[in-house]
Structure 1
Amino acid sequence: MRRTELRAHDENGEPRPSPRWTNRRTPLGRTALCLVLAVAFLLAGCTTSPPITSPLPPPGRATILWDTWGVPHIAAGDEPMLFRAFGQAQMRSHGNLLLGLYAKARGEGARYAGETSLNSDRTVLLMGLRERGAEWYAQQSPRMRAAVDAFATGMTEYATTHPAEHDRIYDPLLPLTGADVLAHVARTMFAFMTDVSDCKRVLPDLDRGDAPPPGSNAWAIGPERTSDGGTLLLANPHLGWGGDELLYESQLVAPGVDVYGATLVGFPVPVIGFNDSLGWSHTVNSVDGCDVYSLVPDGTGYRFDGGHRDFETSNRQISVRLPGGGYRTEKVTVRRAVQGPVVTVGGKTFAVRATAVDQAQVPGLLEQWWEMARARTLEQFRAALGREQLPMFNVLYADDAGHVLAAFAGKVPDRPSSYSGSWDAPVPGDDSRTLWTTTLPASRLPAVIDPPGGFVQNSNSPPWTFTLPAVPELDPARYPSYLPSPGLGWRERRGLQLITSTPKMSLDDLVRLKNDTHLSLADSVVPALVAAANRSLDTGARRGAAALENWDRQAQATSTGALLFLAWVYEALPEGHSADELFTTPYDPADPLGTPRDLRDPAAAVSALGRAAQRIQNLYGAIEVPWGNVARLQRGNVDLPASGFPGDPYGSFRVLSPDIARIASGKPGAVSFGDSYVAAIHFGSTTTARVLLTYGNSTQPGNKHVADQLALAQTGELRPALRTLSEINQNLEERMDVSR
């Protein structure tokens, strides 16, 4: 066993701390010989497939090849033209959505969308997110400043030359700027962060409403566990099907880079991607980068270290569009304490201290992602990670040299050990001893490379089960106690069951397993529940038990017990409670797949089953209702039965979450969350990928690519990723040329 040290440097040339990663495999290297061609010179490296134009366009020009799925394949002679063309492509595919998102990034969403964006604007003003965009813009390297400027120029060009393709109400937003791009990045990352932190309870939401928190599955399977000795990567984010979380699929090619993947709409670089040599995905991790401090009011200020402090105060205004036309003005007073922005909730005053956008900012996030996309080796990829600009997210990685990696990344406060209270509750804000000022370096966060189990995976559980069997570098005792406690979600439990029961996995296996809808929670409760119900005198519970016995414990469109099981969980678990509370034997990190177990209160469970069966009978006229009758894939003019289920606490690896409130009222519910971009990738002597963007690659009214991939999603089919000129030309819909 040897340790491969990372020697990344910061913007000033100073060495960065090395992440604590143990390399358990000697690098295999690549022995394939690259042909010496002009194209190879332009690409500045070896590839196993030709670029999408041959040769690349000259500097100052770009070509966009639109395939029959609405995916842009962009080849450019230089990076600024690549980003300029990418801005044009995104505006063509998502003009109204994109302009609405940039309005919110300026804190002007309510000016265009009315009251629905008012809370978002309040938070943007409170956290100074628009100002953060301007500050980050000034901190960009010359190369990345040129990139975001070009991206903004491309968006503006398309909007101004195709005015009929967007709602003209957005015209005052133009032109868009590089600072707008960074403000949008800051707002989006802050929305992700608050969803998994304590600050969510005191901050106005950013237009997410009642949407589930973002989630994801990702696997990296090493050559020891594949059927041909290659390496496999699964990327499977679970995000909302609209607004801030919508993903956009593309291929970007320029000198030195050829990357295929997906980004959040309005971002100029891929956030999930792969090239011929390597790929990566993210899962949402439980980085708690935001703390709430309880302040003690003192006149017009607050108490701090036994004395009085004045708030820093500024007055702002929000223009709110009225339904009947015209506007009203809302005045907003923004206050800051020493900890950060101040909010009042329920008559109490709190300060919010957040990493990423306020403390320990991440102005270099876009450039880090771009360097990850340009990397060709493990060492280059780790050097990109060494920039430590990710505000959150796990990183899961695989490459053609047989390496797999998982890292818990993000800006985690280095919280003072002198405070013995809980950081999950409001922290006393009148004492400087609770005030943290730095964040943990990557060397103090969990990570593993090439573990002996031959795989890494994550489905949003804490990082301690990145792999099995357990490895020393994922021992929670090595890390700060306020990192997530050991635990395993039911969806991740199912993922681990699928991996460990497939000792030699192929790409076909990966696609099949990704679509698994077996509910792991049902395996743990249904046998005992049915046995207890059959012993009871509750007729409804006995009928429910018969339905559960007939059920395959799947959430396929034809499965007839999934709806009843969903209703039982709602009856058996009070809101806000964990499914682990249903069991007597608690979760044991030493037996992650065998615990928790043993139904705690069979009588209460049976009573809940009787109520659930009666409710389903009343709503639908039967207890055994095919799941696809109530869970629908609806978008545009498409309406199809869904196979998939909410992930946790039910344990479906395939996540498609319908509108539960509508289902609970006896009406079909449209899926609005879950599988978005999916990529199954094989790395070896050649790189092969299958992909899907479940809801389609456009939101523009009348665009044929709104919902055109839902039929594939219904059957669980992925389409080949088109990456070579030959493949694209066989599936070419349109060509666009872009020049300065």
Structure 2
Amino acid sequence: MRILTILGRLAAGLVVLALLLLLGGYYYLKNTTLPQTSGRFVTPGLSAPVEILRDKNGVVRVKAANEHDLFFGQAVAHAQDRLWQMEFQRRIGAGRLAEVLGEAALPTDKFLRTLGVYRAAAEAYQNLPDDLKAIVDAYVDGVNAYLATNPPLPLEFKLLGFTPEPWTPADVLVWQKMMSYDLSGNYEEELLRYRLLARGLSKARVEALIPGYPEDAPTIVRRVPERLRPPPAAPEEAPAPAPQGGAWVDELLGLARTLPSSLEASNNWVVGPQRSTTGKPMLANDPHLGLSAPSIWMLMELDAPTYRATGATFPGLPTVVIGRNDRIAWGVTNHAADVQDLYVLDEAEGGYRYRGEVRPYRIRRETIAVKDADPVVLGVRETVYGPVISDVVNAPEGQALALAWVSLEPSDETMAAFYGIGKAEDWEAFTAALLRLKAPSQNFVYADVDGNIGYLAPGKIPVRKPGHSGKYPVPGTGEWDWVGFVPEGALPRAYNPPEGYIVTANNRSTPEGWPYAFTYDWAAGFRATRIEELIRAKPRLSPEDFARIQGDEVSLMARSFRPVLERLQPRSELAAEWRKKLLAWDGNETASSTEATVFQAWYAELARLPEAEVGEPYWNEPRYLRRALLEGDRACADRGVSCREFASEALERALARLDALGGIVPWGQLHPAVFDHGVMTHQPQLRRFFDRQIAHGGDRFTVNMGAYDFATFRMNHGPSYRQIVALGEPDRSYWIHPMGQSGNVLSRHYADLLPLWANVEYLPMGAGEPVNRLVLEP
């Protein structure tokens, strides 16, 4: 017994010792990875001192005497809180992940090197006017001045065993290009359709599986101006050469899907003074992007005599992207305009046939460094359209695909747009700034203190020949080249419309009869319809009403399946019971709803309907599924059942699946919002340390969007930032983003905002009373 007592005391002592070592290690890491946020830095390159102030939530205010010093200071603040994120982003854009992550990252590097995004960023910088170069240079100087202080590095650098190199202008502009890639992914839609053709589907069947924009869904602009002529009648669709076998197309599409894509993402709306309880316009925005740890955004106030703006900023880029200044406010959603095309090349000895002659390929050599392995040399074939992206997956001879994309062009002044709107004081200055934007085309809503509201969707948007819709790859022989770009006067816009409000939710921007087609891949219209319903439900709305709209989780998609539910013939008592509950349900997919759990599990099973035909386990296209289940479809016949039987069996399978997962739990428990680190997510022993998750409601089609993976029900896209701006009443303006202001996992601001975000709660918009003050001195 005495020996056992001694051993017990020894074990207890070892536990205490282990805890002390762990605590000591924690505090050591914390002290050697967190930045200095108070005191003084000597940072050569400034003309006057700059203050970086942080409030109790880590929200940053940068005060400077001029714009150069302001963007220099913004860069220091970004680097202090998000240095690893900025490093990871520039490595993605440059195709340099394998250099620090090893061979597993090589396919992504090859793809991005083939695209040539970093080269395009470097070229764009060389072609910028001097005033824009000065902004980029100031930001680069700020990052490098911070690195020159030999600061504590975030834990990721220590774990991966490298230190950051000095920054260059291309490192800044490449993330702008990558956001353009994220929001301009039409070529993925082309690849998807091309892949379906390769599986033997007809174009008519592809169009049935991917239906067009619903006739009863709202458009952003309601009327065609008299000055715009109607479009010419389009002849038969341009030919889409059928791929010779589809495995390589599957591989290329799969590779494209490993990178972010947010085509159907974001809500914004604005109401005029006649619809506002404040007597001034109000504006709301919640961009939906991939969820990540850390957050995509960082909240900031930038304060200089000639530039004062507050809002969401991108670490790695200067200026405010979404927000307000003293006179105006603005919000952004994706217009999803089609600015990309795939061209099937007619290959010949020594090159490809183009306009009656054989053009030689221009070969670009890329050397990719690989950690613990030999470098890989990549030969990229360039054409008049752009790079041959099918080479990444070794497409068979005669099936080469070249990508044309406006963001790869040598001149790009998109940064001027975001810089200019931050300084704009009225509609004329706002639109003049936006017309310098190239890509991605976005839906900008506007409000000002004088009571005006507006909308503009700028961008360099290709005009195609009649018959070339942009839905499918076309022959790259010169016959189907772009014939120009949409003129400024024909871009979608509205100013003080009679409705007194403007809503954009990735829905169609223009009505029938507009002379230019911007895309055919709009969001289905459920979110836009719901927002308009809620705006029209009250004669005047308050900021609190706006918050309720941003948090709304009523799924009009779920309601649209009520007729399918009514036709079900349940086989079990449990299914009959849940059919009855779902018919009585209002479609509100709150985190606490079990009806949402059962509906979404059923919908996931319904999404398997064309699985054999499309070669994917799930087909998340509710317009096709609803029509098929109500009117009949060949996919049901291929399964040897009626569509009613398939829908009934799907409910039985959904309930069985939920039982295997542990029972019918609240939707938020089955459907957490997941914030993956990106790199450390692939390190099982570190994943729990870096990743976060929290219960969330909604689905892809709700205002409070909660897109999820059908295989796991885990939410991977959602509101990446929310803002509500009451013009003229700054104390009633609000903002929030998920996770926290810091990207350092050891910081108390790493995930402190997550509960507020999940509960659709907010911080007052603007930096509060400072608790930390750092002065940068020349």
Which of residues 641, 661, 680 is equivalent to 2:724? 680
1:338 paired with 2:381, answer: no
1:578 paired with 2:627, answer: no
1:398 paired with 2:442, answer: no
1:264 paired with 2:314, answer: yes
1:382 paired with 2:425, answer: no
**Structure 1 position 109, deviation (Å):** 2.2
The alignment partner of 1:273 has SS state of strand
CA deviations on 1:74-132 (whole Å, 9 max, x unpaired) are 01001111111111111111111111212233332221223454344223322332222
Distance 2:402 2:490 in 1: 24
The alignment partner of 1:708 has SS state of coil
1:631 paired with 2:671, answer: yes
Which of residues 677, 692, 708 is equivalent to 2:736? 692
Distance 1:244 1:705 in 2: 10
Distance 2:648 2:515 in 1: 42
Structure 1: runs of 5+ lacking an equivalent: 1-57, 465-474, 587-599, 664-668
1:177 paired with 2:168, answer: yes
Contact 1:632 1:639 in 2 (8 A): no
Contact 1:252 1:259 in 2 (8 A): yes
**Structure 1 position 62, deviation (Å):** 1.0
1:517 paired with 2:517, answer: no
**Structure 1 position 244, deviation (Å):** 10
Structure 1 residues 145 and 210 mapped into 2: Cα distance closer, same or farther (>3 Å)? closer
Distance 2:339 2:433 in 1: 22
**Structure 1 position 637, deviation (Å):** 8.2
Structure 1 residues 339 and 68 mapped into 2: Cα distance closer, same or farther (>3 Å)? same
- The aligned counterpart of 1:39 is none
Structure 1 residues 349 and 264 mapped into 2: Cα distance closer, same or farther (>3 Å)? farther
**Structure 1 position 607, deviation (Å):** 2.9
**Structure 1 position 549, deviation (Å):** 4.3
CA deviations on 1:187-222 (whole Å, 9 max, x unpaired) are 332333226754666578578458765611101111
Distance 1:196 1:509 in 2: 38
Distance 1:427 1:639 in 2: 43
**Structure 1 position 232, deviation (Å):** 0.9
**Structure 1 position 152, deviation (Å):** 1.2
Q: For structure 1, which segment, 246-255 or 189-198, has the greater mean C-alpha deviation from structure 2 after superposition?
A: 189-198
Q: TM-score, normalised by structure 2?
A: 0.76
**Structure 1 position 537, deviation (Å):** 4.2
**Structure 1 position 566, deviation (Å):** 0.9
CA deviations on 1:490-533 (whole Å, 9 max, x unpaired) are 2222222222223311111101111011111222223x344333
**Structure 1 position 293, deviation (Å):** 0.6
Distance 1:288 1:483 in 2: 5
Structure 1 residues 244 and 352 mapped into 2: Cα distance closer, same or farther (>3 Å)? farther
**Structure 1 position 686, deviation (Å):** 5.4
Q: For structure 1, which segment, 300-309 or 557-566, has the greater mean C-alpha deviation from structure 2 after superposition?
A: 300-309
- The aligned counterpart of 1:127 is 115
Distance 1:143 1:165 in 2: 32
- The aligned counterpart of 2:520 is 484
- The aligned counterpart of 1:616 is 658
1:507 paired with 2:557, answer: no
Distance 1:683 1:279 in 2: 8
Distance 1:689 1:267 in 2: 24
Contact 2:180 2:439 in 1 (8 A): no
The alignment partner of 2:771 has SS state of strand
CA deviations on 1:120-171 (whole Å, 9 max, x unpaired) are 4223322332222222222223222222112112112223324432316686
CA deviations on 1:252-274 (whole Å, 9 max, x unpaired) are 01112211111222111221121
1:444 paired with 2:444, answer: no
Structure 1 residues 289 and 458 mapped into 2: Cα distance closer, same or farther (>3 Å)? same
Distance 1:208 1:86 in 2: 31
- The aligned counterpart of 2:88 is 100
Structure 2: runs of 5+ lacking an equivalent: 1-45, 193-251, 609-617, 630-641, 676-688
Q: For structure 1, which segment, 701-710 or 680-689, has the greater mean C-alpha deviation from structure 2 after superposition?
A: 680-689
What residue identity is the alignment partner of 1:643? H
The alignment partner of 1:293 has SS state of strand
Contact 1:541 1:607 in 2 (8 A): no
Structure 1 residues 291 and 638 mapped into 2: Cα distance closer, same or farther (>3 Å)? closer
CA deviations on 1:524-574 (whole Å, 9 max, x unpaired) are 223x344333x5544453132134246452222211111111111112234
Distance 1:704 1:189 in 2: 32
The alignment partner of 2:400 has SS state of strand
- The aligned counterpart of 1:31 is none
What residue identity is the alignment partner of 1:734? N
Distance 1:211 1:387 in 2: 24
**Structure 1 position 399, deviation (Å):** 1.5
Contact 2:182 2:262 in 1 (8 A): no
The alignment partner of 1:349 has SS state of coil
Distance 1:200 1:404 in 2: 38
Kindly report the root-mean-square deviation, in angstroms, between the aligned alpha carbons of the 2 structures: 2.9
Which of residues 304, 318, 329 is equivalent to 1:279? 329
- The aligned counterpart of 2:532 is 496
Distance 1:244 1:230 in 2: 35
Contact 1:539 1:610 in 2 (8 A): no
Structure 1 residues 707 and 155 mapped into 2: Cα distance closer, same or farther (>3 Å)? same
CA deviations on 1:274-310 (whole Å, 9 max, x unpaired) are 1121111111122111101111221231122333221
Structure 1 residues 196 and 501 mapped into 2: Cα distance closer, same or farther (>3 Å)? farther
Which of residues 732, 737, 740 is equivalent to 2:775? 737
Distance 2:697 2:589 in 1: 5
What residue identity is the alignment partner of 2:553? T
Which of residues 685, 691, 695 is equivalent to 1:642? 695
Distance 1:210 1:78 in 2: 36
- The aligned counterpart of 1:427 is 474
The alignment partner of 1:164 has SS state of coil
The alignment partner of 1:478 has SS state of coil
- The aligned counterpart of 1:62 is 50
- The aligned counterpart of 2:414 is 365
The alignment partner of 1:581 has SS state of helix
Within-5 A mapping of 1:122-201: 122-166=110-154, 167=157, 173-194=164-185, 198=189
Higher strand share: 1
Structure 1 residues 451 and 269 mapped into 2: Cα distance closer, same or farther (>3 Å)? same
What residue identity is the alignment partner of 2:696? S
Within-5 A mapping of 1:160-309: 160-166=148-154, 167=157, 173-194=164-185, 198=189, 202=252, 205=255, 208-209=258-259, 213=263, 215-242=265-292, 246-309=296-359
Within-5 A mapping of 1:42-61: 59-61=47-49
Contact 2:344 2:402 in 1 (8 A): no
1:311 paired with 2:302, answer: no
Q: For structure 1, which segment, 68-77 or 206-215, has the greater mean C-alpha deviation from structure 2 after superposition?
A: 206-215
- The aligned counterpart of 1:32 is none
CA deviations on 1:565-619 (whole Å, 9 max, x unpaired) are 1111112234335211244599xxxxxxxxxxxxx95544333222222222232
Structure 1 residues 645 and 119 mapped into 2: Cα distance closer, same or farther (>3 Å)? farther
Distance 2:443 2:456 in 1: 6
What residue identity is the alignment partner of 2:606? A
Q: For structure 1, which segment, 228-237 or 161-170, has the greater mean C-alpha deviation from structure 2 after superposition?
A: 161-170
Contact 1:261 1:274 in 2 (8 A): yes
* Greater relative contact order structure (CA < 8 Å, 6+ sep): 2
Distance 1:213 1:357 in 2: 16
Question: Identity, % of aligned pairs?
Answer: 26
Distance 1:686 1:722 in 2: 9
Higher helix share: 2
The alignment partner of 2:653 has SS state of helix
**Structure 1 position 428, deviation (Å):** 0.8
1:562 paired with 2:596, answer: yes
Contact 2:293 2:691 in 1 (8 A): no
- The aligned counterpart of 2:62 is 74
Q: TM-score, normalised by structure 1?
A: 0.80
- The aligned counterpart of 2:580 is 546
Number of residues of Structure 1 aligned to a counterpart in Structure 2: 634
